[in-house]
């Protein structure tokens, strides 16, 4: 009987409740803030419904006056034609966690446990999607206490163009890119001058074969649908 009660208590303790509320964080985007009751996670989800965005993502005056921090971001764009300009989402860095708490920086074995900053960008319905030079230039800056992650979900079948230095100077621990096709670009053309710890690419791209290779002490993991 005692063991049953103990198991029930464990289940109750392990449940994390997440509350969702509308919030005014980014201009021209409808946002929701997701907060866990134990303050372990703060997530921001925002959607743009065909509203033109000129230049870069901007924080609203309210979010500038009353700053919040998040460790997870998911921005969705419904658009027909979209230009991803230089340093497109760099203002999100004002919303990054400032430091790890003592409780989250130590594991049960006395070691250090890194926090994580995760960004997902989803582009839907586009006919033309253009990545300009330095789209994600030094997006995460110096965040040695955190594992950084960037996902690009290009879910429409429209045309995608990459400027020669589109992803240049992007430094991130983990990156994934999902697209039906990145042709006519080669892998080297898309990921030129980047610093990526592990990379997963899913989509059609000019590449001789699937492979795992090492370059500049970084490991790239490819899962490609290659063009013939």
Q: What are the pLDDT tens digits along the chain (228 aa)?
A: 555 455 544 444 456 577 899 999 999 999 999 988 766 679 999 999 998 888 899 999 999 998 899 999 999 999 899 999 999 999 999 999 876 543 344 444 344 456 899 999 999 999 999 999 999 999 998 666 789 999 999 988 899 999 999 999 999 999 999 998 888 888 889 998 999 999 998 876 665 444 433 333 334 444 444 344
Indicate whether 130 belongs to any domain: yes
What is the model's pLDDT at position 112?
43
43-74 residues labelled b (16+ CB within 10 A) or e (exposed): bbbbbbeeeebeeebebbeebeeeeeebbbbb
Which pTM value belongs to this model? 0.79
What is the model's pLDDT at position 183?
81
Indicate whether 193 belongs to any domain: no
Indicate whether 186 belongs to any domain: no
Residues 6+ away with beta carbon under 8 Å from 131? 84, 160, 161, 162, 163, 166, 167
Indicate whether 158 belongs to any domain: yes
Indicate whether 117 belongs to any domain: yes
Indicate whether 85 belongs to any domain: yes
Domain of residue 43 covers 18-97+113-179
What is the model's pLDDT at position 16?
59
Token reading at 196: 């990526």
Total domains, the chain: 1
What is the model's pLDDT at position 87?
96
Indicate whether 58 belongs to any domain: yes
Sheet hosting strand 146-154, strand order edge to edge: 18-23, 30-36, 42-49, 72-78, 115-124, 146-154, 171-186, 195-206, 225-226
What is the model's pLDDT at position 205?
65
DSSP-derived letter for residue 145 is T
Indicate whether 209 belongs to any domain: no
């Amino acid at each position: 009987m005692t063991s049953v009660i103990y198991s029930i208590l464990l289940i109750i303790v392990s449940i994390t409740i997440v509350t969702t509320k509308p919030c005014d964080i980014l201009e021209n985007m409808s946002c929701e803030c997701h907060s866990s009751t134990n303050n372990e996670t703060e997530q921001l989800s925002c959607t743009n419904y065909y509203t033109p965005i000129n230049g870069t993502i901007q924080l609203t005056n309210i979010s500038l006056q009353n700053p919040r921090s998040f460790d997870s971001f998911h921005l969705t764009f419904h658009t027909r034609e979209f230009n991803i300009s230089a340093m497109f989402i760099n203002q999100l860095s004002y919303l990054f966690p400032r430091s790890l708490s003592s409780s989250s920086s130590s594991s049960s074995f006395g070691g250090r446990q890194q926090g994580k900053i995760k960004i997902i960008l989803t582009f839907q319905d586009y006919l033309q999607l253009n990545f300009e030079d330095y789209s994600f230039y030094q997006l995460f800056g110096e965040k040695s206490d955190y594992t950084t992650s960037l996902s690009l979900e290009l879910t429409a079948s429209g045309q995608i163009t990459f400027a020669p230095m589109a992803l240049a100077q992007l430094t991130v621990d983990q990156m994934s890119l999902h697209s039906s096709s990145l042709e006519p670009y080669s892998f080297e053309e898309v990921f030129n001058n980047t610093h990526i710890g592990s990379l997963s690419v899913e989509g059609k791209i000019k590449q001789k074969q699937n492979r795992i290779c090492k370059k500049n002490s970084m490991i790239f993991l490819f899962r490609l649908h290659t063009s013939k």
